[in-house]
Structure 1
Amino acid sequence: MAPALPRLLATRRLPQEVETRLGAAYQAQFNADDHPMSEAEILEGAEGKDALLITSMDKGFATGIIAKLPPSVKIIATFSVGHEHVDIAAARSRNIAVTNTPDVLTNATADITLLLILGAARGASWGERMVRENRWDSWSLTEPLGYDVTGRRLGILGLGRIGQAVARRAQAFDMELHYHNRRPVAPDLALGARYHADLFDMLPYCDFLSINCASTPETRGIVNEKLIAKLPRGAIIVNSARGDIVDDDALIANLKSGRLAAAGLDVFRNEPKIDPRYRSLDNVFLLPHLGSATRDTRVDMGMRAADNLDAFFAGARPRDLLT
């Protein structure tokens, strides 16, 4: 008799190709209507399961749910690169493996970062609203006007895989590149960007500041009043990393005062319940966390998660093991 297939709970709908693969290799329970599962639903669904496939929207995994999981759960695969939504220490203490899906969404997220830069600088949000709301009734030489991107200075906070991909794209706009990391990257990966060991030393060189670092205890809230004050007046901030890196009060105040010219945001604290003040600001280009939202990327992410699950249940070390 063939051994029983591992039992899997997926907390959200997955691309069809991924669900087909998982359905053949696991006794899989899928979220048919794709509703956000509550902690109680996840715990009920986890009963008797060997594996959980979760997303970054499942916040309970950072705030106590892992301690309540049934003993049958042996691995948590998160459909994301970031893993701040999972209490890694709690998982490790229960001998539960945790994996993520790096690499496969680098280009899609870097593309979105350039869209944020261009959308914020050129007023794409208010421009589209003018057309959609039939308020475009004349043409003016003086208003409304956006800001140039070509030849400007770009500071990248976090020159990892995504930051490097952003730098490559920014080169096409002849941007002067600067970056801050905990340590410098190899020259061939830095693409000529100037390294600043101290973040605050980089800020005066940033006409644009792109946030591409991970959300960690050190970076949460780092884009605050003190940081913004060091940027040139009229700078533009874009964020395609994680919403909790930005202090919303500070960013909104400086956008309202004109200290910052604009911002482009794809991620938010407490998303999708974003700070409602952003919706009333004409100088903010807003997207609903589209960084990895291409068909190819989401399929690749799901397949990467499946690869990790398959390796684990085959007795091998998953490629993206975090514990």
Structure 2
Amino acid sequence: MDFPKVVITRRIPRQAIELLEQHATVFLWDKEEDAIPQEVLLEEVKDAHAIYTNVSDRIDREVIASAPLLKVISTMAVGFDNIDIKYATERGIAVGHTPGVLSETTADLTFALLMATARRVVEGHDYVKSGKWTSWSPMLMTGQDIYGATIGIIGMGRIGEAVARRATGFGMNILYYNRNPRPEVEEQLGAKYCLMDDLLQESDYVVLLAPGGIGTNKLMGDREFGLMKPHAIFINSSRGTNVDEAALYRALSEGQIWAAGLDVFDVEPTPTDHPLLSLPNVTALPHIGSASIATRTNMAMIAAQNIIAGLLGNELLHIVNPSVYEN
């Protein structure tokens, strides 16, 4: 009997590939630094029963429509705004993701990015390596204090809560804005729910952790950055689409806010001539929020298990569109 076919759009840990090979014939795009070309993806999904994807792929209506045998799509990520969920559901295709497993790792990176930006760690590293450090100076590479400052978290989900826990260790005053208040977080961590405008005006650090999507597209723009303090720092570990990057550039270059730490961008990979990368007060990373070896391996295995469940006609471990089972 022929095995069903799984298209894997990017190199993943070998353990996950071996698990899938027990249940399916695997096509793997194995060029780690390059996304699968659209024409290759469209050709390979023609006889595919499953797509194993990630945040860099657009699994849109065209891709899904090109795959008449498709039963399951699984993304090695929490976010799924790169997938046409509505059309997949109409087609009866289950969509899986990997929530929960990366929360602590992403919170680690988010707080590391906050600290590196506040204390100008990357800038200082480059200063030393370039030979510019010729003497000690009282105001050399001075940054912003973290301990005792006010942090405002936009999006109090699992990652937001994990960042808030880390903030308590630095004696920070924690504000948050969320679609719904989280009384348990307020009780456990001393966080205070407030309107977004109030959060922006009162915070020394604004940390964006909202999910991507239509409701959060360009959530941070000229008006929002204009409400922040001149010494405030903006951190984004969510989605690049949540930020109007031109507005952020204006805020940083004109001194409306002090600095930004960015793990995500509207277009990824970010071109080297991106205006934000020209600013000394921007610390930029290549979307590595969950990039610890243990976490990425765990994510890969969960995504593979979602695929196998879908191929066998079983419920996915973590499903985005549970209504698909109603049909």
TM (norm. structure 1) is 0.94
* Contact 2:64-2:70 within 8 A present in 1 as well: no
> C-alpha separation between the residues in 2 aligned to 1:51 and 1:87?
15
Return the match for 1:193 from 147, 167, 191.
191
> C-alpha separation between the residues in 1 aligned to 2:102 and 2:23?
24
* 2:215 alignment partner, SS class: coil
The equivalent of 1:257 in structure 2 is 254
Letter in 2 for 1:10: I
The equivalent of 1:177 in structure 2 is 174
Q: Does 1:110 align with 2:107?
A: yes
> C-alpha separation between the residues in 1 aligned to 2:276 and 2:129?
19
The equivalent of 1:26 in structure 2 is 24
Q: Aligned runs of 1:73-112 on 2, under 5 Å?
A: 73-112=70-109
Query: Which stretch has the larger CA shift, 156-165 or 222-231?
Result: 222-231
The equivalent of 2:52 in structure 1 is 53
Return the match for 2:129 from 129, 132, 155.
132
Q: Considering only aligned residues, what root-mean-square deviation do their CA atoms show, in Å?
A: 1.5
> C-alpha separation between the residues in 2 aligned to 1:32 and 1:224?
38
* 1:264 alignment partner, SS class: strand
> C-alpha separation between the residues in 2 aligned to 1:56 and 1:85?
6
Shift of 1:318: 0.7
Shift of 1:188: 4.2
The equivalent of 2:293 in structure 1 is 295
The equivalent of 2:305 in structure 1 is 307
* 2:123 alignment partner, SS class: helix
* Contact 1:104-1:300 within 8 A present in 2 as well: yes
> C-alpha separation between the residues in 2 aligned to 1:113 and 1:36?
25
The equivalent of 1:320 in structure 2 is 318
Displacement over 3 Å in runs of 4+: none
* 1:222 alignment partner, SS class: coil
Shift of 1:200: 1.1
The equivalent of 2:206 in structure 1 is 209
Shift of 1:252: 0.9
Shift of 1:281: 0.9
> C-alpha separation between the residues in 2 aligned to 1:256 and 1:163?
28
Q: Alignment identity in percent?
A: 35
> C-alpha separation between the residues in 2 aligned to 1:302 and 1:144?
40
Query: Which stretch has the larger CA shift, 313-322 or 38-47?
Result: 313-322
How many positions carry a matched residue from both structures?
Answer: 318
Query: Which stretch has the larger CA shift, 252-261 or 31-40?
Result: 31-40
Q: Aligned runs of 1:275-290 on 2, under 5 Å?
A: 276-290=274-288
> C-alpha separation between the residues in 1 aligned to 2:95 and 2:63?
11
Return the match for 1:238 from 225, 235, 239.
235
Shift of 1:245: 0.7
CA deviations over 1:274-296 (Å, ceiling 9, x no partner): 46112221111111111011111
| Ranges in structure 1 where 5+ consecutive residues have no aligned partner | none
The equivalent of 1:41 in structure 2 is 40
* 1:56 alignment partner, SS class: coil
Letter in 1 for 2:167: A
> C-alpha separation between the residues in 2 aligned to 1:208 and 1:105?
22
* 2:30 alignment partner, SS class: coil
> C-alpha separation between the residues in 2 aligned to 1:313 and 1:11?
18
> C-alpha separation between the residues in 2 aligned to 1:142 and 1:133?
19
> C-alpha separation between the residues in 1 aligned to 2:114 and 2:99?
23
Return the match for 1:146 from 138, 143, 146.
143
The equivalent of 2:224 in structure 1 is 227
Shift of 1:67: 4.6
Shift of 1:256: 1.0
> C-alpha separation between the residues in 1 aligned to 2:282 and 2:312?
48
Shift of 1:315: 2.5
* 2:190 alignment partner, SS class: coil
Shift of 1:143: 2.5
